[in-house]
Amino acid sequence: MSALASTDPACRAEEGCITCGDEAHPVRVLSADEATGLAVCAGEDGLLGEVEVGLVDPVAAGDVLLVHAGVALTRLDPRESMVA
């Protein structure tokens, strides 16, 4: 563990990160814009949001992504996802 992680009250291993929740969530891509590297996505709760997709480009409508702090980390198999 780095010195910063052990002294920063926002990120404690036993409690998770209070800034970002230290969680990733699946979302379904509704539309993507290659020029900006952003996609409009819907989460399990139906809420819409923009996601930065540069790490998993290219993406298309219907793709399911695992997102943390507004950044897509990986692509998920849509058949195994619970995202409608």
The amino acid occupying position 5 is A
Nearest to 53 by CA among 69, 78, 73, 68: 73
For the chain, which domains are there?
Answer: 23-84 (2.30.30.140)
pTM, to two decimals: 0.71
Q: What is the pLDDT, as a whole number, of residue 79?
A: 81
pLDDT in tens, the chain (84 residues): 333 334 444 444 455 555 556 678 899 999 999 999 999 999 988 899 999 999 999 999 999 999 988 999 999 987 877 676
Is residue 63 within 8 A of residue 78, CB to CB? The reply is yes
pLDDT at position 6? 40
